[in-house]
Amino acid sequence: MTARYPRPTLISSTPAEEIDDVTLAEDAAKGDPGAHAAIWDRYSPLVRRVLVRGLGPGSEVEDQLQEVFLRFYRNRTLLRDHAALRSFLFGITLRVAATELRSRRIRNWLRLTKDGVLDDHESAPTDNPEAREAVKRLYAILDRLNARSRLAFVLHYVDGLELTEVAEAFGVSLATVKRRLARISVRVFASAQADNLLVQYLGDIGVPRENGQRRR
């Protein structure tokens, strides 16, 4: 079997890191595999991070990571504003993550687990056990949210994205994101405050005062 390789690569003296997103996106829109490879190099660590944090610690995300960039290749012409490459990739990442989360729920339901929470994945043995337990409990709270709410929470509070970036990633207005995150944060905060381990990570805010004194 033989294939004519469509677009070999030009090598020039311009470092890859000096090529902006607009140029990469333009080249990628033309189907240039070199541009897609460069976009992978630039954004796969970020996408992987979002997937791992969105799907939960210990999650295997390699298939989802590949899917994100292949979906970008297939839908490359849909990116109209080439300066919005990062947001576009975020959007695809969220859709892939949401699909995976929904699939997990269905698989979990079919396995008829006792409490409906997702499987506990093995963590690295050298982790801080207390923090690891806290993260496990946090994700148990997030498991009770729907996929979009969970991912919005993770993007803003764990990945640290600004609200405008979260809005762009979801393709909604800033006002919509603020409204949704306000509802989500009330719910997650209340659950975390009720957990005797997680409350310690909420700082002073998480601790109710008793007769004017802070409860220990």
Partner 1 sequence: MTVRRKSSVDRDNALCQLGRMAATQVPGEISRDQESESRWRFRENLAREAFASNTTRWVIATVAVAALVAALFFGWRARSPALITFEVDSPAVVNQDYLLVPSTSPSAHVRFSDGSDLTLEPGARGRVAALRADGAAIGLESGKASLRVVHRPETHWSVDAGPFAITVTGTAFDVGWSGADQLFEVTLRSGSITVRGPLATAGIRLTAGEKLIVNLKAGQLGVEQIASAVDPLPRAPSMESGDLGGLADEAPPRKTSASPQARAGNVSGASEAKASWSKRVAAGDFDGVLADAQQLGLDAALTRSTLPDLVALADAARYKGRADVARRALLAQRERFGSSTAARTAAFLLGRLAESEPEVAIAWYDRYVSEAPNGEFAAEALGRKLVAVHRVSGWQAARPVADEYLRRFPHGAYAARARELASR
Sign (positive or negative) of CA dihedral 192, 196, 197, 200: positive
- The residue within the footprint of partner 1, chosen from 80, 110, 112, 160 (CB under 8 A), is 160
For position 101 contacting partner 1 by CB under 8 A, the verdict is no
Could you give the C-alpha distances from 95 to 15, 33, 72, 175, 198, in angstroms and in order? 32, 23, 12, 21, 29
Give the range of 83-91, 95-103, 105-113, 206-214 binding partner 1 by CB under 8 A.
206-214
Judged by CB under 8 A, which of 75, 127, 164, 194 binds partner 1?
A: 127
Nearer to partner 1 (CB atom), residue 33 or residue 108? 33
Kindly state whether residue 11 participates in binding partner 1, applying the rule CB under 8 A.
yes
Q: Does 62 bind partner 1 (CB under 8 A)?
A: yes
- Identify which of residues 108 and 185 has a Cβ nearer to partner 1 in the complex: 185
User: Using CB under 8 A as the criterion, what x/- string covers residues 29-58 for binding partner 1?
Assistant: -xxxxxxxxx-xx--xx--xxxxxx---x-
Number of shown-chain residues binding partner 1 (CB under 8 A): 78
- Tokens representing residue 90 in the block: 């975020």
CB 193 within 8 A of CB 202: yes
**Separation CA 154–CA 157 (nearest Å):** 5
Count of positions (residues) in the chain: 216
Q: Residues 134, 136, 138, 142: what is their CA dihedral angle, to the nearest 10 degrees?
A: 180
104 makes contact with partner 1 (CB under 8 A): no
Of 1, 106, 110, 112, the one binding partner 1 by CB under 8 A: 1
Q: How far is the CB of 53 from partner 1 (least distance, A)?
A: 5
Helix or strand run (H / E) with residue 209: strand 209-210
For residue 185, state whether it binds partner 1 (rule: CB under 8 A).
yes
Task: Return the range that interacts with partner 1 (CB under 8 A); candidates 14-22, 87-95, 98-106, 166-174.
Answer: 14-22
38 Cβ contact list (under 8 Å, min separation 6)? 16, 19, 24
Distances (CA, A) of 148 to 17, 61, 76, 185: 32, 18, 23, 13
Among residues 22, 78, 83, 131, which is the contact residue for partner 1, using CB under 8 A? 131
C-beta of 38: minimal distance to partner 1 in Å?
A: 5
Contact between 66 and partner 1 by CB under 8 A: the answer reads: yes
